[in-house]
Amino acid sequence: MSHTKESILVVEDNQDLVNLLEINLEDEGYDVHIAMDGVKAVETFKATDPSLILLDVMLPKMDGFDVCKEIRSVDKQVPILMLTAKSEEVDKVLGLEIGADDYMTKPFSVRELLARVKAILRRAHHSSEESDKKSILKYKDLKVDPNKRRVQLHGEPVELTSKEYDLLLLFFSNPGKAYSREELLNDVWGYSYEGYSHTVNSHINRLRSKIEDDPSEPDYIKTVWGVGYRFADTEQEAENHA
């Protein structure tokens, strides 16, 4: 089966790590583009339209957070995996809040990175294939159009990152079903990894801030104490109001 090779933009200013990533990613069959500062990263992104971006946080000229914001201003869907040398929660959470899909803390094993890259790209394909099969979903003032990957609240468009959208679509498609954080990591990110549950929490919080009138009293994404989260049970709600 012939298909266009997927391309990965590596944004990293450590030459040794760049060489290591380039060799391993090319061995896996990916086209690799390199940018070693933030300004070059944005230029290369616009010129190459990559399938995935590996984005270091600490960069010359423009840091990874600003690069992420710049890319998200023109492309909400391209997966972004941030690489951070720091282990502080604030770095990880900030990266996720501005639209990164995932992060890895240095030092990391190349094997784990490659597994993560494959999982992210597999999810991206799966999401686009799933979109072709679904009709428009509506509940209260929220509407999701899976064919166009568009979300509206009170008739106004809502800008979601790709992972926020994937989470919402999963919840919306399975009303009332409770998901643990681990299940959400598996279903939305394509992997389960001990200690990454706050990745899910951060995304849920961001999603609620965009779709809930009052995130502390959510209408759509409910907390299931001791389990995780679920979407409002639309059939139950209908019966309650019948």
**79-98 pLDDT, tens digit each:** 899 888 766 665 666 667 77
- The answer to whether 134 and 159 are in contact (CB under 8 A) is no
Are 98 and 124 in a shared domain? Answer: yes
For all residues of the chain together, what is the average pLDDT?
83
Are 108 and 204 in a shared domain? Answer: no
Residue 163 sits in a domain of what CATH number? 1.10.10.10
Assess if residue 1 is contained within a domain: no
The model's pTM is 0.67
Helices 162-173 and 197-211 sit at what angle, rounded to 10 degrees?
A: 80
In the numeric block, which tokens belong to residue 197?
């549950």
Q: What SS3 state is found at 109?
A: coil
Domain hosting residue 73, numbered range: 7-128
Task: Specify the residue for token string 């998901």.
Answer: 179
Are 27 and 106 in a shared domain? Answer: yes
H/E segment holding residue 112: helix 110-131
How many Å separate Cα 11 from the centre of its chain? 18
Say how far apart CA 166 and CA 188 lie, in whole Å. 6
How many Å separate Cα 95 from the centre of its chain? 11
Sheet holding 102-105, edge to edge: 31-35, 7-11, 52-56, 80-84, 102-105
> Rounded to 5 degrees, what angle do the CA atoms 205, 193, 99 make?
35
Are 144 and 112 in a shared domain? Answer: no
Give the pLDDT of residue 54: 95
Say how far apart CA 164 and CA 153 lie, in whole Å. 15
Assess if residue 172 is contained within a domain: yes
Q: What's the domain count of the chain? A: 2
Are 152 and 121 in a shared domain? Answer: no
Say how far apart CA 171 and CA 230 lie, in whole Å. 6
Q: Which of residues 103, 128, 153 is at a domain's end?
A: 128
For residue 49, give every residue at least 6 positions away whose Cβ sits within 8 Å of its Cβ, in sequence order, or none. Answer: 7
- pLDDT 10s digits, 154-203: 889 888 887 888 889 889 888 888 998 888 888 887 766 655 677 788 88
Percent of the chain with pLDDT over 90: 29
- pLDDT 10s digits, 205-230: 889 999 999 888 999 999 888 888 99
Are 92 and 158 in a shared domain? Answer: no
Q: What SS3 state is found at 9?
A: strand
